[in-house]
Structure 1
Amino acid sequence: MTTHVTDENSAGDGSGAVKLSPSGWVAEQAELYEESGGTKGTTMQGAPCLLLDYVGRRTGTVRRTVLIYGRDGDDHLVVASKGGSDEHPLWYLNIQDNPDVQLRVGTERFPARAETLSAEEKARVWPHLVDVFAPYESYQKKTTRDIPVVRLRRTDR
């Protein structure tokens, strides 16, 4: 599913086209979130959500997913949990190659830069993220993979 956004730069090619997640419910929530201007679809199971637009590492296509987030000061934190899978989510692999992303958090859309937290930083913020979304704790226990936490730092200030 492809949608269009008003920010021409988000597609990278000036078309404004963004490819939504292949997961049906994620695509539906992303579409509702974007089409409402960030006033609907902003939570998942009671946790706050943001839209992450990122560039596919193989195709160069701008893709969008919905992620639960926590905060660390002015920064947004997202967890690359994939439900406790032994594999990283595709969005995480893509932002490792191209950390410049676009976020929609509520009614605001802005550019950000993604950075995976060190083990020490993750240990500091993990309790907060589990408070935001309790299943993260069981996801980490379910896999031998160390689930990454990513800092999304706004870059337009």
Structure 2
Amino acid sequence: MPVGERAGTPRLPPRWFIRLAWVAHRGGLRVLGGRVALWRPRGRRWGTLRLSTTGRRTGTRRDVILGYVEDGPNLVTLAMNGWGAPEPAWWLNLQTHPDATATLVDGPRPVRARAATGDERTRLWARWRETDKNLDAFASRRPSETAVVVLEPRAGGPGPD
């Protein structure tokens, strides 16, 4: 996107600051046992969850903190990597191993991940837009479309613990 077209795009903090904030948040989750670092979505605000995936190359457990909204029994997040260009590692991991565990305030939940498409993607993107009026402007910073990731409940079984 040409620089002139970005004139109306809201500013993001520097990349190092975004990464530092997420590292601090993960540290808070470990130290406080998840009671403060995870919260439920309320009204037009998103919540946070810890997603445990299986590494696509190593096969080891990988944890990440994500924002989410609810869509019935499903949890919905955006594969945005702090609005940076590359796809986030957790999303690449889920494309290889879609079974994961989402830990919410009330405990762990086995999930299976998939990308929303078509009308469902449009509807869920609009739901996310309710939480941030600048969503489209931030998303325009990425060279590819931001995946809307649906985490569907699944029966307990193999997947990251």
Larger Rg computed on CA atoms: 2
What secondary structure is seen at the aligned counterpart in 2 of 1:156? coil
Match of 1:117 in 2: 116
- Residue 75 of structure 2: aligned partner: 76
Equivalent residues, number: 133
For residues 107 and 155 of structure 1, the distance between their equivalents in structure 2, rounded to whole angstroms, comes to 17
Counterpart CA distance in 1 for 2:74 and 2:141 is: 28
Q: Which runs of 5+ in 2 are unaligned?
A: 1-18, 40-44, 157-161
Amino acid of the structure 2 residue aligned with 1:30: R
Q: Deviations over 1:72-100 (max 9, x none)?
A: 11100010012332221111111000001
> Taking structure 1 as reference, are residues 55 and 135 closer, same or farther at Cα in structure 2, changes over 3 Å only?
farther
Quickly say closer, same or farther: Cα 1:63–1:79, change in 2 above 3 A.
same
Cα distance change of structure 1 residues 127 and 25 upon mapping to structure 2, 3 Å threshold: same
Amino acid at match of 2:89: L
Which range moves more in the overlay, 126-135 or 116-125? 126-135
Identity %: 25
Offset, 1:50: 0.6
Q: Given the alignment, which residue of 22, 41, 45 partners 2:37?
A: 41
Larger strand proportion, structure 1 or 2? 1
TM-score by length of 2: 0.73
- Equivalent residue runs for 1:119-134 within 5 Å: 119-134=118-133
SS at match of 1:57: coil
CA contact under 8 A between 1:112 and 1:153: conserved in structure 2?
yes
Instruction: Give the structure 2 partner of residue 58 of structure 1.
Output: 57
**Structure 1 stretches (4+) deviating beyond 4 angstroms?**
none
Higher normalized contact order (CA 8 Å, seq sep 6+, divided by chain length)? 2
**Unmatched tracts of structure 1, length 5 or more:** 1-22
